[in-house]
Copies of this chain bind each other. A is one copy, B any other.
Amino acid sequence: MKQPKLDGIFPPITTPFLPDGEFSPHKLRANIEKWNQTGLAGYVPTGSTGESVLLTKDEKYRVWETVREAAAPGKLLIAGTAAESVRETIELTNKAAGLGYAVAMVRTPHYYKAQMSRPECQMTYYRAVADAAKIPVLIYNFPQATGLDIPAEVVAQLAEHPNILGIKESSGSIEKVARMVDSTPDDFQVLVGSAPTLYASFCVGAVGAVLAFANAAPCASLAVYEAWKAGDHQAALRQQRSITAPAIAVTARHSIPALKYAMDLNGYYGGPPRLPLLPPSPAVKAEVEELFRDVKA
Contacts and interface: CB of A to CB of B under 8 A. Distances in A.
Interface residues of A, number: 58
B275 A87 contact: yes
B241 A112 contact: no
B112 A256 contact: yes
Nearest to A128: B275
A113 B147 contact: yes
Interface string A76-114: 000000001111100000000000000000000101111
B147 A274 contact: no
A175 interface: yes
Contacts of A276: 84-86, 109, 115-116, 121-122, 124-125, 128
Interface stretch (A65-73, A161-169, A195-203, A260-268): A195-203
B147 A174 contact: no
Contact of A200 (B86, B204, B255): B204
Contacts of A1: none
A237 interface: yes
